[in-house]
Structure 1
């Protein structure tokens, strides 16, 4: 195996296992290996250094592995994670589910007693996955920067194509928020969305972006390209009773049918249902706006909640898609999700299609819509028309 310029962390209170792990990781070509027996020390190191991969035990003296995973989430850790444990298979699988729900890049698990082969196999698997971006280490934007960004129109949208699985035709685009910062360059949502929500500025951004995406779809229609557009909407706006009226006014302004708009709502945001939220969702659905439950599988929705709410689309979180090609348990979970969506007459969107293996698996599962880097990365509006022309030519 070629040398990997990674910084690895081992968290285990067993000296013998730690010694073996260090030996195997260094033999496998990992450039830097740091071992800790105390979770607090490991967390402090992770917070102050770029860490590419963590091998973590679940049985720890002070903070157990479950709490450690939660704390990694709170620190927005973007490296890879491998669970190392002697726990039962069911327990490990439940912790894996937690790690995925926490949006951690879980590579897999190694059962104790560990073997050199198991560790090397996990390193190879991790090396094949997409390189961590470490965007989490970008400082959160300050409130004055966000106000200035809104005033000076620094927010923009990038668009990622959505492809019909059966025909391979382009059927829609997802609009993704970006901020063109004057000194920090292109800034991603994890650096500004929460701050906008906490300071009651998310409404201003959402309304501007709704106008922008519908204008974009209208422009494409005038060029003979009919597409839907998907846009994430904050849970804080789902209790705004005038939201549907504002959306319908914009649709009328651009002479677009409501079916051209898909509002993506994260699964976690609808767990606590409120009367105002249900009213807003019902009014949008009754008038034809499509509602998509986003990042499905990362929250704890019950089937009853899915039945009660007017969703027409299920967007399955990319961690399940990417794990399913190599993990039988993840594949079974993904198959169960797609089967449930079909029984509920919901369209299935699989995001995170980043390789031919992901593409083939999505085709096998008979998903409706595919999205991911294997098809196209998010792009500015100026590049969209050219990409559409190339895609149409490629599938002709």
Structure 2
């Protein structure tokens, strides 16, 4: 579809430019140009002899935003294809598209950030698919009373997925992932109930109920001689609550564990706004000795700007870029960008979603420190997690590296 075509990418986030460039190179585009601002994009477009077949532009940019760019493209007589990407709400994205249509521009579709390969494929490789929000909606069918009861009776509880040191092949940590054990529906994943929790403004209740259960489990493990730093998820919205460090500190004291026993992962449900409250909260948590991870790096919410502004100690590469990355230039560029930035900022690197030995070896060669994923273990209840960690002194069994290399299965 893009053989021989020239694509111009417009985004002020260098990470997004890098991974989008990898995506279009994987589609065999003739040339992929990058502009860090709308002004730079217009300068490129006006160069003599420059023919742009497709422009992919963000909407939120400094100096000249994507809305202004639409007007300038009309005045410049641009008649190529145009695609819009943004982390703004869908109504705003739809308004931008309508404005572009009114300007007479050839807008082929829109895609919401955080960017996913499936969403980009749906936009650029399946032109007959419906446009707009490419993420499937989840039905909300839980009441506040049901959620409260599930929290109180322990039906909503943590499952644990091990994190493994790549060099030592030893379990060094875990992530606590929430599950709802419903007597009628079985084990429910977050996608099935978190939309209801968020809509009912019960995220804080869920977070602290989960923290209390996790901290209690950590205390039990320590009594058994098992030291596993465990990460709990906190939403970007909760990071702006000034009381958060004090509440976490009290929970730690209540269970008799140390701040160094836990980590906080900031989930991708919204942009982490840079302000005095969020900076104070994260700085206090780091002063307490709690590691802070920026989750889902490369998706658009977790970006290079956040890395510069906040005291993160760990960078997690989103699983949507890890799965199948050995054959996907788009995902490979994301991993390379994450490793480069993480090393420059002295951050620990973790890749989530590892499912094959090839993916393990790919991230190992690029300097990732830890991994988690189905290759090692699925998230499991605490009753299964402890025996899993104690088995074989915490070492995990994987195919020897030499076997993979000799077979020529690892992408460079």
> Smaller-chain TM-score range?
0.5 to 0.7
Distance 1:336 1:137, change over 3 A: closer
The Cα of 1:148 is off from its aligned counterpart by 3.0
- Partner residue in 2 for 1:10: none
For residue 135 of structure 1, report the CA deviation from its aligned partner.
10
More displaced 10-residue stretch of structure 1: 264-273 or 198-207: 264-273
**Structure 1 partner of 2:328:** 327
Q: 1:365 — aligned with what? A: 366
Q: Matched residues in 1 for 2:394 and 2:334: separation?
A: 36
SS for the counterpart of 1:325 is helix
Alpha-carbon distance, 1:267 to partner:
4.8
Out of 101, 113, 131, the residue aligned to residue 114 of structure 2 is 101
Give 1:280 deviation, angstroms: 1.0
Q: How many residues align?
A: 296
**Partners in 2 of 1:213 and 1:298 — Cα distance?**
27
User: How far is the alpha carbon of 1:256 from its aligned partner?
Assistant: 2.1
What are the superposed Cα offsets for residues 173-203 of structure 1, whole Å, 9 maximum, x if unpaired? 1000111123222111112223222323222
Which whole-Å deviations, capped at 9, do the CAs of 1:292-337 have from their partners, x for residues lacking one? 0001111255534312201000011011112421012321231121
Deviation at 1:205, TM superposition (A): 1.7
Corresponding residue number in structure 2 for 1:306: 307
Give matches, 1:190-229, under 5 Å. 190-229=191-230
Which moved further from structure 2: 260-269 or 378-387? 260-269
Q: 1:273 to 1:110 in 2, by over 3 A?
A: closer
- Which aligned pairs between 1:143-158 and structure 2 lie closer than 5 A? 143-158=144-159
Cα distance in structure 2, aligned partners of 1:394 and 1:183:
37
Indicate the RMSD between aligned Cα atoms, in angstroms. 3.7
- Give 5+ residue unaligned stretches, structure 2: 1-54, 56-80, 92-106, 126-134, 398-412
Deviates more, 1:237-246 or 1:338-347: 237-246
Do the aligned residues in 1 keep the contact of 2:161 with 2:175 (CA within 8 Å)? Answer: yes
**What is the SS of the residue equivalent to 2:270?**
helix
Which string of whole-angstrom CA distances, capped at 9 and with x for unpartnered residues, describes residues 224-275 of structure 1? 1111010111223222211111111222233322121111103563442232
Report whether the alignment pairs 1:232 with 2:236. Answer: no
- Equivalences for residues 239-258 of structure 1 within 5 A: 239-258=240-259
2:286 is matched with which residue?
Answer: 285
- Equivalent-residue separation in structure 1 for 2:158 and 2:137 (angstroms): 20
Q: 1:145 to 1:255 in 2, by over 3 A?
A: closer
* Secondary structure at 2:327 match in 1: coil
Cα deviation code 1:58-105 (max 9, x no counterpart): 9xxxxx9968999xx99xxxxxxxxxxxxxxxx99x98xx57834464
Aligned pairs for 1:30-109 (under 5 A) are: 101-103=114-116, 105=118
**Distance change >3 Å, CA 393–CA 277, structure 1 → 2:** closer
Q: Please report the TM-score for the alignment, with normalisation by the length of structure 2.
A: 0.63
Relative to structure 1, is the Cα distance of residues 381 and 268 closer, same or farther in structure 2, using a 3 angstrom cutoff?
closer
2:163 is matched with which residue?
Answer: 162
Under a length normalisation based on structure 1, what TM-score does the superposition of the two structures give? 0.65
Give the match's secondary structure for 1:358: helix
How big is the shift at 1:136? 6.7
In the aligned structure 2, how far is the partner of 1:381 from the partner of 1:291?
A: 23
CA shift for structure 1 position 146: 1.8
Query: In the alignment, which residue of structure 1 is the partner of 2:356?
Result: 355
- 1:20-49 deviations in Å (ceiling 9; x for gaps): xxxxxxxxxxxxxxxxxxxxxxxxxxxxxx
- 1:142 to 1:328, Cα distance in 2 relative to 1, 3 A: same
Q: Tell me: CA distance 1:162–1:374, structure 2 relative to 1, closer, same or farther (3 Å).
A: same
Query: What is the distance in 2 between the residues matched to 1:335 and 1:102?
Result: 17
